[in-house]
Amino acid sequence: ILFDLDGTLVNTLTELADALNDSLRPLLGSNSLAHPLVQSWIGNGAATLFKLALRHCGISEDSIPAEFQNRWPDFQSAYAKRCGTNSTLYPGVINCLNALQHAGYRMAVVTNKEAYFAEKVIHNKGMKDYFELVVAGDSLPCKKPDPQVLWTTLEQLGVARSQALFIGDSIIDIET
């Protein structure tokens, strides 16, 4: 069983929004990025999330690459401090993982979140012993919705496609 991470197992919205607001304070001033807006950006990894926030802050398309290079380390630092600290597991996640593990199912996480952040959330939320493999947004040359991410994960696990289930929460997961 392959699981998406953000929005499927754990709600990371608050810590992502806080990290964006922390790192973009010079552009935002006294304003903050609202949670529903940040929620609409989640799903393609932190780098894409950050670029969408830069656009929202009024950075022109031509300036996005330079602004990203300049400000990305600030976001990485802010998110590294918050990652896994203010997120919450969805109700029943641990009970579900326990039941699946005890029933003999092999499990992995397939996420577009960067590996460092994904591993940190999984560890901080007490889920690391459930997953045999974590395939993150920077683990392969492609990421979801490219189905090759799932095929490669299944190959690494030695599991046939017909014997796998992928559980996610977003249009990206459906397209994958």
- Rounded distance between C-alpha atoms, residue 54 and residue 11, angstroms: 23
Grouping H, G, I as helix, E, B as strand and the rest as coil, residue 43 is: coil
φ and ψ at residue 133, rounded to 5 degrees: -155, 145
Quote the strand ranges of the chain, DSSP E: 2-3, 10-11, 88-89, 108-110, 133-135, 166-167
- Rounded distance between C-alpha atoms, residue 95 and residue 53, angstroms: 35
Spot the catalytic one: 4, 6, 18, 173. 4
- Rounded distance between C-alpha atoms, residue 16 and residue 52, angstroms: 13
3-state secondary structure 43-66: CCCHHHHHHHHHHHCCCCHHHHHH
- Is position 4 annotated as part of the catalytic site? yes
Catalytic residues: 4
